[in-house]
Amino acid sequence: MPFPEIDPSALPLAEREGYFKTDESFALQLDAQDPLKQYRASFHIPTRPDGKPVIYFCGHSLGLQPKTARAFLDQDLATWATLGVEGHFQGPTPWYSYHENFREVGARLVGARPGEVVMMNSLTINLHLLMATFYRPTAERFKILIDSPAFPSDLYTVQSQIRYHGFDPAQGLLQVDPRPGDFLLREEDVESILDEHGQKIALVLFNGVNFFTGQWFDMPRIVAAAKRWECTVGFDLAHAAGNVELHLHDWQVDFAVWCNYKYLNSGPGAVGGCFVHEVHGKNTALPRLAGWWGNDPATRFQFHLQPEFVPRAGADGWQVSNPPIFSMAPLRASLALFDQAGMPALRAKSARLTGYLEFLLHHYCAGRYQIITPQASSRRGCQLSLLAREHPRDLVRTLEDTGVICDFREPNVIRVAPVPLYNTFHEVWRFVQILAR
């Protein structure tokens, strides 16, 4: 049978029996009918000592290597070897305009327009650079609103920015916490805090998908609520880019940053990405921390003859340094696969993978683990976070010993992420059998 037209992961658990089955043959059948099944062969899958592939459910932490990444990197190494400095303007992919290779594909990835996305630096550096422009506190409006639990680097960035501007983080930082006894945030609580403090909030800075729970926030609702109080809105998309469908331009997001080494499979420490809405990108008078690669290309190489910084329009105008070519090469390989598969198709498979995983967990492991990720597929991405009631660290070590790679977050949460580009339904079935034992 083909994939059903209805998405069973969108149904209540009790109604999924008619669409999902618990036997191994059903998992194999789903894989046989998977329209994206060919993409698994595009990645290097780590293996166990016996040579068998591991079950790699850790794409939310570090994505796997595309097999074509080496060819892209080798090409740039060959350019360096044969052309030297001339590689900036010659060769298959000249370095001078290398970042422009991501102009179109990067925009499609996050629902932006060409010119609104640039790949540069790393996530936290980009967050500081964009906050230099978009966090302009005054004595009356200086607070920053973030989600909780916030990723530590985001929290440190925000605290340091508040201090840098002469304010006390104890007064300047507002966090939206889950309600007592709950793990998930409610958008109505975000709206309530904005209604109470909106006139004092300079910036709303949320994760698109929370790293701990895997909750995908209602981003357009948060933007709309913040804009009612004339707050600037930014997002950390580390766990959202390449995971869920985004429409940053249409949602009127002011800016966003993300890393490319998680779902976007570009290697450890890969170059980051950022989005600046075109309404701001066109405003070249906006203050920023400037560097020569954000300068107008027409005058970039005039050096001492051009003492004044003239920013290029668009997100490119926030660049400070020339692009790290060898870090960008794997990103070319990965984004080509994303562009070919398309985020709508990837999201459809992702919802079925997590829906199937949730169904099997309730069948085989009822009562042993609590899923703290939202049940609705429209409120989560690839990740399910499982609260382990007993010996969570021992459980993770046992999973690793049996060839399952996921990760652990204090105090007792295991994050499991079957990603649609290279994970299978049969891997989900096998994982649950191991967990049930």
Alpha-helical regions (H) of 115-212: 123-134, 152-164, 169-172, 187-197
CA distance 87 to 288: 30
- If one counts the domains in the chain, the total is 2
Which tokens in the block code for residue 15? 């109604």
Mean pLDDT of 39-59: 97
Q: What pLDDT does 319 receive?
A: 96
- What's the CA gap between 420 and 334, in Å, rounded? 13
According to the model, what pLDDT value does residue 299 have? 80
Both 107 and 222 in one domain: the answer is yes
Q: Does the pLDDT value for residue 254 go beyond 80?
A: yes
Q: Are residue 316 and residue 375 in the same domain, yes or no?
A: no
Q: Residue 252: which region, alpha, beta or left (left: phi > 0; alpha: psi -120 to 50)?
A: left
By C-alpha distance, which of 258, 352, 253 is closest to 35? 352
**329 exposed, middle or buried (CB, 10 Å; 0-12, 13-18, 19+)?**
buried
Over range 401-428, report the average pLDDT: 95
Instruction: State the virtual CA torsion across 119, 122, 127, 128 in degrees, nearest 10.
Output: -120
194 and 262, same domain (yes or no) = yes
Q: What residues are paired with 47 via a beta bridge?
A: 53
Domain boundary (281, 306, 339) is at 339
Q: What is the pLDDT of residues 256-278, one digit of tens each?
A: 999 999 999 999 999 999 999 99
Lay out the sheet containing 201-207: strands in order across: 117-119, 273-276, 255-258, 232-236, 201-207, 143-147, 173-176
Q: 276-295: per-residue pLDDT in tens?
A: 999 999 999 999 999 989 99
Q: What is the pLDDT of residue 2?
A: 42
Whether residue 266 sits in one domain with residue 354: no
The pLDDT-based confidence of 300 (bands split at 50, 70, 90) is confident
Nearest Cα to 134, choosing from 286, 315, 273, 316?
286
Residues 333 and 276 in one domain: yes
Query: Does any domain span residue 67?
Result: no
* Per-residue confidence band for 392, with pLDDT thresholds at 50, 70 and 90: confident
> Residue 8 pLDDT > 70, yes or no?
no
The answer, yes or no, to whether residue 5 has pLDDT greater than 60, is no
Phi-psi region of 394 (alpha: psi -120 to 50; beta: other; left: phi over 0): alpha
Residue 1's pLDDT is what?
Answer: 36
pTM of the shown model: 0.94
Given 3-state DSSP classes, what are the helix, strand and coil percentages for the chain, each rounded to the nearest 5?
45, 15, 45
- Give the DSSP H/E element, type plus range, for residue 18: none
pLDDT exceeds cutoff 70 at 419: yes
**What is the pLDDT confidence band of residue 302, given thresholds at 50, 70 and 90?**
confident
Element at 405 (helix H, strand E): strand 404-405
Amino acid at 375: Q
Residue 65 lies in a domain: no
Distances, alpha carbon 153 to alpha carbons 55, 132, 417, in Å:
29, 16, 22
Q: Is the pLDDT of residue 367 over 90?
A: no
pLDDT of res. 339: 96
Write down the pLDDT at residue 16. Answer: 63
Q: Say which residue, 415 or 303, is predicted with more confidence.
A: 415
Does any domain span residue 417? yes
pLDDT of amino acid 202? 98
- Rounded to an integer, what distance in angstroms lies between the CA atom of residue 393 and that of residue 304? 58
Do 150 and 191 fall into the same domain?
yes
Among candidate residues 339, 360, 382, the one where a domain is terminated: 339
pLDDT of residue 255: 98
CATH of the domain at 83: 3.40.640.10
Does residue 252 share a domain with residue 164? yes
Q: Which domain holds residue 16?
A: 8-57+343-436
Residue 122 domain flag: yes
Residue 3: inside a domain: no
Confidence of residue 170 (pLDDT cuts 50, 70, 90): very high
308 and 247, same structural domain? yes
d(CA 241, CA 209): 9
Same domain, 352 and 382: yes
- Residues 150-168 have pLDDT tens digits of 999 999 999 999 999 999 9
Predicted confidence band at 330 (pLDDT cuts at 50, 70, 90)? very high
Q: What is the mean pLDDT of the chain?
A: 94
pLDDT for position 297:
83
Q: What is the CATH number of the domain that holds 48?
A: 3.90.1150.10
Q: Kindly state the average pLDDT of the residues 67-81.
A: 98
Residue 396 — φ and ψ, nearest 5°?
-65, -40
Same domain, 14 and 155: no
66 inside domain: no
Q: How confident is the model at residue 10 (pLDDT cuts 50, 70, 90)?
A: low
Amino acid at position 112, single letter: A
pLDDT band per the 50, 70, 90 thresholds, residue 13: low
With a CB cutoff of 8 Å and minimum separation 6, the contacts of 269 are 122, 261, 327
3-state secondary structure of 256: strand
239 and 273 co-located in one domain: yes
Q: Which amino acid is at 76?
A: D
pLDDT tens digits, one per residue of 88-112: 999 999 999 999 999 999 999 999 9
The neighbouring-strand residues paired with 276 are: 255
Q: What is the mean pLDDT of residues 122-146?
A: 97
Judgement on whether residues 146 and 265 belong to the same structural domain of the protein: yes
Band (65; pLDDT cuts 50, 70, 90): very high
Measured from the Cβ of residue 419, the count of other Cβ atoms closer than 10 Å reads 26
Collect all residues with Cβ–Cβ distance below 8 Å to 302 and sequence separation of at least 6. Answer: none
Residue 64 falls within a domain, yes or no? no
* Residue (of 258, 175, 192) closest to 226 by Cα position: 192
Q: With bands split at pLDDT 50, 70 and 90, how would you rate the model's confidence at 215?
A: very high
Q: Specify if 99 maps to a domain.
A: yes
Q: Which of 303, 319, 339 is the last residue of a domain?
A: 339
